[in-house]
């Protein structure tokens, strides 16, 4: 690969660079960032043509269009049905949805992005497990472990940012992976189904988190801090865009950048490396994988560890980037929502980014809508549920068509 297509590699690296620069500038409220993102798209296309030829590209685009068609239709249909609900209950659907779109995409777009960051990580965690034929339903638990580890380290670390932040990512990610190692080993050794075990572990982590908060500053005798840990030291905060682009929103942190790069990395691992090949092989047909010399148990273990690591990253970015402390019972269920995003993205790690942004925008828009129009936010949940249902109906549809 390195000998045969150096130009390809250069183009790929440029693409990633352009994506990063584009995101940074765009989030810094500079519209030139969009130009960079557009250029990145073009570069990606050129790279594809270089490697696989024109014909292949056209096929990829065609199939991409085909796969995106149905979910899009599903989303529109979900909004339509949601609108009917609004009508019946006496709200104005057009106005409400207008406010939602305005809030999610224009007024509070930075909230959408902040919402999307942890979702990208948890959805990636579920996606990678999915590719390996596993259902990491307990990403919520690994998220909690990541949050706790990051908080614990953040409070204690007194190191320069450049050392502290990567260290926290590594250690907390490792904790998430280690936490998922137990269900993974149970799965490999005894065949215990990961859906059950990881879900149980999610509740365990959640319960432990309350204790953790008590031990790290949450003083039950003080009503003000009963449910909150101490703040992490400022050196461990993720840098915000505002620190180098003064026009940027003050809450936007570089977590989104890390998330997008992670998504690209996951995509690369799954489709370009031996490990990813083996993960996909095990996921699609573990019998053939085994017969062809792949150590299925080892791959399952690695897949689960990676899934745990990614879910923990969600917690880390949330603590280091946004909250700077840990709250009790104040989480948006990123683990569970990650499942929805992963399903919506159809197990493509690139699509995960867009779907997470969409999901985040739904939440942000919903909050804006309820604040300005008093339309209840539950309509957002209804729309989300409908979307999921319609997306899963697609699988059902396919299943029945195959049977007939």
107 is a site residue for other proteins (CB under 8 A): no
Identify the residue among 277, 327, 336, 354 touching other proteins (CB under 8 A): 277
And the tokens for 103? 């809030």
302 is a site residue for other proteins (CB under 8 A): no
Cα–Cα dist 348/364, whole Å: 24
Residue number with CB closer to other proteins (270 or 311): 270
5 is a site residue for other proteins (CB under 8 A): yes
Identify the residue among 32, 42, 163, 284 touching other proteins (CB under 8 A): 284
Residue number with CB closer to other proteins (286 or 377): 286
CA atoms within 13 A on the CB side of 256: 27
Cα–Cα dist 74/267, whole Å: 25
Residue number with CB closer to other proteins (89 or 292): 292
Which DSSP string corresponds to 330-398?
Answer: ----HHHHHHHHHHHTTT-HHHHHHHHHHHHHHHHHHHHHHHHH---THHHHHHHHHHHHHHHHHHHHH
And the tokens for 35? 């130009």
And the tokens for 106? 């224009």
Identify the residue among 86, 184, 248, 294 touching other proteins (CB under 8 A): 294
Residue number with CB closer to other proteins (261 or 275): 275
Identify the sign of the CA torsion 114, 228, 161, 153. negative
Cα dihedral 336→337→338→342 (10° resolution) = 110
Task: Spell out the residues 6+ positions from residue 388 whose beta carbon is closer than 8 angstroms to its own.
Answer: 340, 343, 344
214 is a site residue for other proteins (CB under 8 A): no
Q: By CB under 8 A, which span of 22-30, 275-283, 338-346, 356-364 interacts with other proteins? A: 275-283
295 is a site residue for other proteins (CB under 8 A): yes
Residue number with CB closer to other proteins (25 or 279): 279
Residue number with CB closer to other proteins (2 or 400): 2
275 is a site residue for other proteins (CB under 8 A): yes
292 is a site residue for other proteins (CB under 8 A): yes
Query: Token match 């996909």: residue?
Result: 280
Q: By CB under 8 A, which span of 86-94, 244-252, 271-279, 372-380 interacts with other proteins? A: 271-279
190 is a site residue for other proteins (CB under 8 A): no
**Smallest distance, Å, CB 209 to other proteins?**
36
Q: By CB under 8 A, which span of 1-9, 41-49, 253-261, 300-308 interacts with other proteins? A: 1-9
Cα–Cα dist 238/316, whole Å: 10
And the tokens for 396? 């059902």
Question: Are 362 and 384 a contacting pair, CB within 8 Å?
Answer: yes
Identify the residue among 40, 145, 228, 281 touching other proteins (CB under 8 A): 281
Identify the residue among 34, 42, 56, 64 touching other proteins (CB under 8 A): 56
2 is a site residue for other proteins (CB under 8 A): yes
Residue number with CB closer to other proteins (178 or 275): 275
And the tokens for 151? 């908080």
And the tokens for 124? 């990636």
Neighbours of 7 (CB within 10 A): 12
Task: Spell out the residues 6+ positions from residue 167 whose beta carbon is closer than 8 angstroms to its own.
Answer: 153, 157, 159
Identify the residue among 79, 290, 376, 388 touching other proteins (CB under 8 A): 290
Using CB under 8 A as the binding rule, the residues of this chain from 312 to 351 that contact other proteins are: none
* Interface contacts to other proteins, rule CB under 8 A: 1-2, 4-5, 51-52, 56, 59, 272-275, 277-278, 280-281, 284-285, 287-295
């Amino acid at each position: 690969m390195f000998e045969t297509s150096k130009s390809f590699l250069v183009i790929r690296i440029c693409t990633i660079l352009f994506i990063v620069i584009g995101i940074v500038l765009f989030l810094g409220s500079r519209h030139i960032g969009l130009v960079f993102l557009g250029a990145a798209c073009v570069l990606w296309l050129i790279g594809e043509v270089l490697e696989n030829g024109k014909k292949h590209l056209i096929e990829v685009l065609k199939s991409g269009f085909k796969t995106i068609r149905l979910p899009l239709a599903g989303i529109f249909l979900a909004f339509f049905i949601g609108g009917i609900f609004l009508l019946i209950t006496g709200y104005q659907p057009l106005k409400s949805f207008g406010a939602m779109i305005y809030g999610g995409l224009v007024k509070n777009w930075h909230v959408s992005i902040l919402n999307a960051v942890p979702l990208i990580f948890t959805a990636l965690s579920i996606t990678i497990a999915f590719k390996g034929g596993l259902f990491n339903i307990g990403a919520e638990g690994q998220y909690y472990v990541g949050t706790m580890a990051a908080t614990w380290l953040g409070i204690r670390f007194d190191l320069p940012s450049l050392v502290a932040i990567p260290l926290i990512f590594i250690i907390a990610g490792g904790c998430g992976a280690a936490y998922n190692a137990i269900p993974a080993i149970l799965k490999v050794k005894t065949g215990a189904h990961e859906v059950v075990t990881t879900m149980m572990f999610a509740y365990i982590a959640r319960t432990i988190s309350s204790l953790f908060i008590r031990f790290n500053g949450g003083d039950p005798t003080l009503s003000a801090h009963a449910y909150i840990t101490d703040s992490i030291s400022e050196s461990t905060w993720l840098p915000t865009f505002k620190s180098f682009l003064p026009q940027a929103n003050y809450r936007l942190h570089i977590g989104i950048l890390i998330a997008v790069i992670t998504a690209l990395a996951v995509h690369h691992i799954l489709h370009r490396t031996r490990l990813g090949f083996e993960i996909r092989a095990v996921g699609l047909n573990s019998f053939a994988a085994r017969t062809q010399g792949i150590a299925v148990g080892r791959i399952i273990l690695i897949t689960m560890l990676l899934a745990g690591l990614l879910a923990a990253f969600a917690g880390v970015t949330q603590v280091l980037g946004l909250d700077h402390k840990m709250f009790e019972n104040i989480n948006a269920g990123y683990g569970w929502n990650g499942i929805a995003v992963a399903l919506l993205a159809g197990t493509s790690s690139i699509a995960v980014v867009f779907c997470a942004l969409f999901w985040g925008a739904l939440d942000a828009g919903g909050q804006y809508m309820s604040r300005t129009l008093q339309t209840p936010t539950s309509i957002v949940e209804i729309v989300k549920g409908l979307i999921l249902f319609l997306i899963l109906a697609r699988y059902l549809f396919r299943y029945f068509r195959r049977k007939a």
